[in-house]
Amino acid sequence: MIKRVVFPGSFDPITNGHIDLIHRALPLFDEVIIAIGINSQKKYLFSLSQRIEWLKQIFNSEIKIIIDSYEGLTLEYCKRVQAQYILRGIRNAADFDYERTISQINYTVSKNIETIFLISRPELSHVSSTIVRELILGKGDVSSFVPESIMESLG
């Protein structure tokens, strides 16, 4: 059986923290699906097509990575793509409390899908897409937080 993990998120934009987690997950799984969740109630800074393009640029040489998008519950998406695991990054205690609750609910609903937590590296634990979006909107320097390909497209 293929060990398949879904790393769900908005990736609006993808950050160096996300990239680090993905690279660290690669040796653990046969396939890593980076899945952009679409929530019609949420306002995104970047279009879905832009976010997919960035992901393709960043991971174009990695054959174990699949880039996809989905609507609805992450658990239902995992069932559809036959993933046995969900990958989540933990930056701090607040992340842990939130993610633990979600993983426990997920386990109650579907005992066949495990949540795997990876702790952010200390030098990346302060990086979040929310903060990066705020910096971009305020015309701040985000070069320490996002890959060069994103910096180039921001102009």
Active site residue 61: no
Catalytic residue among 4, 10, 18, 128: 18
CB contact at 8 A, 16 and 132: no
4's tokens: 């398949």
Question: In residues, how long is the chain?
Answer: 155
83's tokens: 């993933």
Catalytic residue among 40, 42, 43, 139: 42
Active site residue 120: no
Active site residue 51: no
Which residue reads 């634990």 in tokens?
Answer: 125
Catalytic residue among 91, 100, 121, 133: 91
Catalytic residue among 10, 120, 128, 129: 129
Among candidate residues 82, 80, 93, 86, the one with its CA nearest the CA of residue 107: 86
> Could you give the CA distance from residue 92 to residue 110 in angstroms, rounded to a whole number?
26
* CA distances, 107 to each of 98, 111, 112 (Å): 14, 5, 8
Q: Which residues are catalytic?
A: 18, 42, 91, 129
